[in-house]
Structure 1
Amino acid sequence: MSKERIGFVGVGLMGHGMAKNIVEKGWPLTVLGHRNRKPVEDLKSRGAAEAENARALAEASDIIIICVTGSPQVEEIAKGSQGLASAGKPLLICDCSTSDPSSTVKLAAELAAQDITLIDAPLSRTPKDAEEGTLDVMVGGEAAVVDRVWPVLEAFGQRIVRTGPTGSGHTMKLLNNFLSMGYAALYSEALALGAKAGLTPTVFDSVIRGGRMDCAFYQTFFKWVLERDREAHKFALKNGLKDMSYLAAFANAAEVSNPLGAAVRNSFALAVGTGRGEDYVPMLSDIVAELNGVSLTKK
């Protein structure tokens, strides 16, 4: 039985590893051209083809995987003048971005009228996990559609969870990121308070690591705090702010009080507002420390 043709949009930090696993596991793959040529050329060397625009990508594919920044980019890729829908053919689009659930539901309804099915399958874990094919995937969509795309998701996902109808995956992703960005804000404030009192990050870590408050997120966060390893946790602060802004919009629409979410969003907004949006999430700890007149790197 021949495998369906896969198109991929967004071969960045996460997308390159995902696409690499798809092509290396035998799926016919076409990627959308990108300003950053290095990941595109690497994938082409592994057997992928390249499309010059989203319309050409749609013409060459049966299933499209999208892994971009958020909803505005997804909408442009799908509905733009040279977008996926302009190919005028049936498609299955799987949005692995962290998108606004309300946008996802609306876009799915619009595309359905053009014989295009949109489901959401956002991700958790790191670019390293994407390279290793061990991502967590939260997938929302009709059961039969999810069954169709499941083997493709297995190419890069180790743990795949069905969350419900289209849009529910992105909702769950926002809740997941609320927890993770919340951890980042808590760790950062705790470290600054400790530094004010003369407690070093090493002492802090010696108490937390291996205890009940330890977790995988803590460990990658502290790879930066203790070892200054920039590669350990590559998720930009500006993307954290974007996700927390989506959460705020979701909470407002649902008429749910979300005071902790607002506090976490403000921590990220402050970091981005000081010009540090391209820094990675663990670096929030340094920003909070600096604003409080202390350093986490002094012995």
Structure 2
Amino acid sequence: MQAVTESIGFVGLGLMGHGIAKNLLERGYPLTVYGRRNRQPVDDLVGRGAKEVKTVAELAPNATIVFLCLTDSAAVQSVVDELKGGLRKDTIIVDCSTSDPTVTVRLAEELAKSGVQYCDAPLGGTPAQAETGELSVMAGATEEIFARLHPVFATWAKKIVRVGNVGDGHRMKLINNFLSLGYGALYAEALAITRKAGLTVEQFDSVIRGSRMDCGFYQTFMGYALEGNRDSHKFTLSNAYKDTRYLESMANAAGSPTFLASAVKNYYGMAVAMGGSGPEDYVPHLPDYAMRVGGGSV
């Protein structure tokens, strides 16, 4: 087992962050955490040996690596602003959020002036995989920084890929989420058509499951439609809408067409506008909104 030489700070102990932080603790990394509203994951980690601080600024001097697992780029910017004054030279900020790559690159350039390093390391997987240490990570960093982070990532990730330099991880994550959230929009519309055409969800699933169109995303997505399990795939509709907006913006800046990407974005925007903006309104609930557009329910 490799000797632990890093001290970890962590901000963003939500659905994914708690599992990552727990695995870091279990592998012997000293952990300092900051939490605002949701006390349950913070209390759990403190009970496992983490140290809690009352402000983000207090976290900075205690860490050689600071993980951020936040909602969006605005939240990342806010936390980085609070950290800036206390960060030591050669500290690495690791942004595991799904963020706007242009903001990522700008923050990295600003922090580099004071010797602070940056890595965008968005995640692939589910909260359950975060708990078991089986996430995937797509990192944007120099080869040197990636080599330093690799053993830390290995405590909670099963697949670790250096995509390229800073910003490339977030660019790839947006493309990854376009595919997965595109599946979600496709499944939602297909299920709405299925029901309105007089077929059942069970008939639909009996053909798709086990076919070439089956996949892990399909299986967790269908947990709600088939079994009524609202927690089968815990990724919020509001986060999906945010990610697809970021993807569309990135494509526009690159001069790439967004015929499908904009349609997918609008699907999630529709659901959020119709009331699916809460913390427990998840992607598998999208068929409910697709049905309501034409009248009816899943």
Q: Which residue of 1 aligns with 2:180?
A: 180
CA contact (8 A) 1:120 1:169 kept: yes
**Amino acid of the residue matched to residue 251 of structure 1?**
A
Aligned residues: 293
Which consecutive residues of structure 2, in runs of 5 or more, have no partner in the other structure?
A: none
Q: Which residue of 2 aligns with 1:144?
A: 144
Mapped to 2, the partners of 1:52 and 1:151 lie a distance apart of 28
Counterpart of 2:275 in 1: which secondary structure?
helix
2:12 is aligned with 1:13: no
Using the TM superposition, give the Cα deviation of residue 7 of structure 1 relative to its aligned residue in structure 2, in angstroms. 0.4
Counterpart of 1:149 in 2: which secondary structure?
helix
Q: Which residue of 2 aligns with 1:213?
A: 213
**Amino acid of the residue matched to residue 182 of structure 1?**
G
Mapped to 2, the partners of 1:202 and 1:37 lie a distance apart of 39
Using the TM superposition, give the Cα deviation of residue 34 of structure 1 relative to its aligned residue in structure 2, in angstroms. 2.2
- What does residue range 237-276 of structure 1 map to in structure 2 within 5 Å? 237-276=237-276
CA contact (8 A) 2:14 2:41 kept: yes
Q: Which residue of 2 aligns with 1:135?
A: 135
- What does residue range 1-299 of structure 1 map to in structure 2 within 5 Å? 1-79=3-81, 83-90=82-89, 91-278=91-278, 279-296=281-298
Counterpart of 1:65 in 2: which secondary structure?
strand
Mapped to 2, the partners of 1:33 and 1:240 lie a distance apart of 23
Sequence identity of aligned pairs in percent? 51
Using the TM superposition, give the Cα deviation of residue 2 of structure 1 relative to its aligned residue in structure 2, in angstroms. 4.3
**Amino acid of the residue matched to residue 89 of structure 1?**
R
Q: Given the superposition, is the C-alpha separation of residues 2 and 244 from structure 1 closer, same or farther in structure 2, using an over 3 Å criterion? A: closer
Mapped to 2, the partners of 1:31 and 1:149 lie a distance apart of 19
Kindly report the root-mean-square deviation, in angstroms, between the aligned alpha carbons of the 2 structures: 1.0
Mapped to 1, the partners of 2:227 and 2:74 lie a distance apart of 36
Counterpart of 1:210 in 2: which secondary structure?
coil
Mapped to 1, the partners of 2:87 and 2:94 lie a distance apart of 17
CA contact (8 A) 1:34 1:40 kept: no
CA contact (8 A) 1:195 1:294 kept: no
Counterpart of 1:155 in 2: which secondary structure?
coil
CA contact (8 A) 2:4 2:28 kept: no
Mapped to 2, the partners of 1:214 and 1:33 lie a distance apart of 38
Mapped to 2, the partners of 1:159 and 1:181 lie a distance apart of 21
C-alpha offsets along residues 19-52 of structure 1, whole Å, 9 cap, x if unaligned?
A: 0111011100000132111110100000000111
Mapped to 2, the partners of 1:15 and 1:33 lie a distance apart of 11
Calculate the TM-score normalised by the size of structure 2.
Answer: 0.96
Calculate the TM-score normalised by the size of structure 1.
Answer: 0.96
**Amino acid of the residue matched to residue 36 of structure 1?**
N
C-alpha offsets along residues 119-171 of structure 1, whole Å, 9 cap, x if unaligned?
A: 10000111111111100110110011011011111111111111001100000
